[in-house]
């Protein structure tokens, strides 16, 4: 009797597995309609004190969309030689930034800029990249695939690969309700990547807990905070918060922060390369300082290896340019002031963000 | 069954009656006649068009000045009807000349369009310079991206105030052509220093159905920082103030409220 029950159980299990496989497999003609499509809203927790998110109406976050974006973010399938992915230059343990001054693409090709750290992109409603050449996160996601110094691929090739893949058509079906593999295209890839990137919220640094009354800053951190936000009548002003505004620690604007004298030809004109407006020479998007202690090297070209070097650049007031931000001015910071400022900057490290399972590489689970 | 809709209809009728009574005594049948009002702000520095970065202006005591940014908030924007009644047309707006970088752009100015304005005769406009107190109690996190008050860069969390106005640029202190002195003035409201104030400008205009009417406004930045040769911001003495020195921020905000904004004749 026991033997019969056991055999029946095995049969049921086998049939169940076959049924699962049937409804989660692509049919030979590429049809996907038989695979269930029931999008579930991705409930993104908006931290207190942040502005409202800019969520595009045509790309709401869903559980399946974010999951698909996560796979694509970590998958080298997007690169020509299957060697590089978004995550190759945006490393979670470094706040989704790169440790190299200039990021490397396929075949070790040297890029032109430092990979910008990623966090809280749901609040960046426009102006992506250091030079703002992409108006939306979706538009941004389209660029690296065909950049010869990054993933070096063509979208046609990527679409072909994804359509023929054993698993991605199912994920696209679950995310976007497509009915045929041929519907997988670059715009859906970009949407999925954007969804995943919008789920990357960092708001659990010591500074956040301090703001919420749940943590105390050390004496040095507090002095640094006062310098950073220009909130003391007796301490020197750091002038940091004109551009690095809490809670995002960026104003999302472009500034010439005095790195180079723009009266001379610049190797990298920044925003000027997009607008060709001479008054945009040397302007770059203000990066967020969240997780700044982990995102070295610094600046668009990674020219500074340490925070000390960054602060010294600002302390001397940068280099004169016609369009240098007037808020970059000699600060008069003494050695202790600089230490305190760096101590404060370390309070922006969100270690839980670096360990978040749902942001990690799904292929390593 | 018919009576089921009576209360709703009655309330609607009552609402319309009150609305029409509050709109300057216009005839009831005018209530559906709506037009548009455009506020056009043209910046000047004295008699010259105000152009960021591309133009340099003679200043007091042999100095010269060049600007990168001039912006200010206006709030509680009201039109004044002929009979004196006020019609609120806007809660808040940011007048920002940062991207006015050519004389052509300066001549076009900055436009703010307000639609669904009841047709009729009006005799003026009033607005608060800065952020009205009820709005200033809020913070960027209270607003959706794109709202004038959502921009974190115009808010001081330490003072719990929006920055009413910003002026940034460079000065040539001795007329040698080197604009090396950096100027940055950010004026917000401290708890004990109320700065917000309404201004009123006389201007006769008519709003017609489906038509846009422009109210031309001039903003003279010279009047803000240098109303006279004996009363001006001396950049040799002060080149930065973020609402620290009363003599500086009072001069700026008071002049912005008094005389710097006028009807553009």
Cβ separation B145–A125 shorter than 8 A: yes
Q: Kindly list the residues from chain B whose CB atom is less than 8 angstroms away from the CB atom of residue A320.
A: 180
- Quick check: B129 and B66 in contact, CB under 8 A? no
Name the A residues in 21-50 with CB < 8 Å from any B CB: 48-50
Cβ separation A245–B152 shorter than 8 A: yes
What is the ipTM, given to two decimal places?
0.86
Domains and CATH numbers, chain A: 48-201 (1.10.760.10), 206-352 (1.10.760.10)
Among candidates A242, A216, A206, A226, which has minimal Cα distance to A337?
A226
Cβ separation A54–B158 shorter than 8 A: no
Beta-strand pair B34-45/B212-220? parallel
pTM (2 d.p.): 0.88
The reply to whether A343 touches chain B by the CB within 8 Å rule is no
The reply to whether A266 touches chain B by the CB within 8 Å rule is no
- Give CA–CA dist A226/B68, Å, rounded: 27
The predicted pLDDT at position A19 comes to 52
Average pLDDT over residues A167-181: 97
Confidence of residue A50 (pLDDT cuts 50, 70, 90): confident
List, as one string, the DSSP characters of A307-330.
HHHHHHHHHTT----TTB-TT---
List, as one string, the DSSP characters of B168-215.
EEEEESSSSS---EEEEEEEE-BTTB---EEEEEEEEEEE-TT-EEEE
What is the C-alpha R_g of chain A? 24
The reply to whether B205 touches chain A by the CB within 8 Å rule is no
A329-350: per-residue pLDDT in tens?
Answer: 999 999 999 999 999 999 999 9
Name the A residues in 210-239 with CB < 8 Å from any B CB: 229-231, 233
Query: Which pLDDT tens digits describe chain B residue by residue (265 residues)?
Result: 334 433 433 333 333 333 333 333 344 444 679 999 999 999 999 999 999 999 999 999 999 999 999 999 999 999 999 999 999 999 999 999 999 999 999 999 999 999 999 999 999 999 999 999 999 999 998 998 889 999 989 998 878 899 999 999 999 999 999 999 999 999 998 777 789 999 999 999 999 999 999 999 999 999 999 999 999 999 999 999 988 888 899 999 999 998 899 999 7
Nearest beta carbon to residue B53 from set A323, A328, A329: A323
A279-323: per-residue pLDDT in tens?
Answer: 999 999 999 999 999 999 999 999 999 999 999 999 999 999 999
The reply to whether B7 touches chain A by the CB within 8 Å rule is no
């Amino acid at each position: 009797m026991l033997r019969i029950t056991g055999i029946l159980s095995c049969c049921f299990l086998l049939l169940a597995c076959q049924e699962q496989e049937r409804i989660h497999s692509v049919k030979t003609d590429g049809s996907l309609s038989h695979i269930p499509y029931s999008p579930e809203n991705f409930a993104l927790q908006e931290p207190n004190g942040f502005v409202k998110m800019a969520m595009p109406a045509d790309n709401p976050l869903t559980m399946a969309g974010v999951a698909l974006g996560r796979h694509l973010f970590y998958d080298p399938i997007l690169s020509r030689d299957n060697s590089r992915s978004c995550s190759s230059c945006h490393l979670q343990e470094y706040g989704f930034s790169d440790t190299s001054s200039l990021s490397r693409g396929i075949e070790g090709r040297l890029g032109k800029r430092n990979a910008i750290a990623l966090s809280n992109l749901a609040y960046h409603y426009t102006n992506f990249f250091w030079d703002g050449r992409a108006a939306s996160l979706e538009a941004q996601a389209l660029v690296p695939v065909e950049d010869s110094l990054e993933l070096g691929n063509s979208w046609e090739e990527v679409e072909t690969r994804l359509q023929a893949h054993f698993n991605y058509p199912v994920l696209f079906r679950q995310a976007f309700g497509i009915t045929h593999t041929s519907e997988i295209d670059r715009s859906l890839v970009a949407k999925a990547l954007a969804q995943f990137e919008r789920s990357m919220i960092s708001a659990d640094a010591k500074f956040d807990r301090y703001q919420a009354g749940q943590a105390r800053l050390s004496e040095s951190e507090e002095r640094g905070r006062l310098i950073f936000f220009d909130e003391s009548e007796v301490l020197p002003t750091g002038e940091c918060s004109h551009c690095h505004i809490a809670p995002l620690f960026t104003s999302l604007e472009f500034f010439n922060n005095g790195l180079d004298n723009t009266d001379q030809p610049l190797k990298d004109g920044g925003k000027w390369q997009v607008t060709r407006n001479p008054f945009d020479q040397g302007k770059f998007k203000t990066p967020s300082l969240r997780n700044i202690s982990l995102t070295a090297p610094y600046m668009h070209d990674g020219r500074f290896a340490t925070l000390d070097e960054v602060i010294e650049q600002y302390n001397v007031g940068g280099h004169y340019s016609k369009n240098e931000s007037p808020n970059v001015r000699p600060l008069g910071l003494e050695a202790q002031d600089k230490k305190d400022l760096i101590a404060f900057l370390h309070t922006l490290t969100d270690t839980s963000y670096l360990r978040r399972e749902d942001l990690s590489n799904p292929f390593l689970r | 069954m018919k009576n089921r809709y009576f209360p709703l209809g009655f309330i609607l009728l009552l609402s319309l009656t009150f609305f029409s009574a509050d709109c300057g005594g216009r005839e009831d049948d005018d209530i559906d006649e709506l037009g548009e009002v455009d506020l056009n702000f043209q910046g000047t520095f004295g008699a010259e068009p105000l152009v960021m970065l591309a133009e340099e202006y003679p200043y007091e005591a042999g100095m010269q000045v060049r600007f990168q940014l001039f912006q200010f908030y206006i709030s509680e924007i009201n039109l004044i009807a002929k009979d004196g009644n006020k019609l609120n047309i806007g809660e808040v707006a940011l007048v920002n000349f940062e991207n006015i970088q050519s004389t052509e752009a300066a001549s076009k100015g900055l436009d703010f369009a307000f639609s669904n304005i009841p047709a009729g005769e009006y005799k003026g406009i009033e607005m608060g310079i800065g952020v009205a107190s009820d709005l200033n109690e809020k913070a960027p996190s209270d607003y959706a991206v794109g709202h004038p008050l959502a921009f974190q860069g115009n808010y001081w969390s330490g003072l719990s105030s929006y920055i009413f106005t910003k002026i940034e640029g460079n000065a040539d202190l001795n007329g040698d052509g080197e604009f090396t002195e950096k100027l940055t003035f950010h004026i917000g409201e401290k708890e004990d220093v109320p700065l917000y104030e309404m201004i009123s400008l006389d201007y006769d205009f008519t709003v017609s159905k489906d038509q846009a009417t422009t109210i031309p406004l001039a903003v003279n930045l010279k009047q803000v920082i240098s109303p006279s040769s004996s009363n001006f911001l001396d950049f040799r003495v002060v080149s930065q103030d973020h609402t620290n020195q009363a003599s500086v921020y009072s001069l700026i905000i008071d002049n912005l409220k008094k005389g710097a904004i006028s009807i553009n004749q």
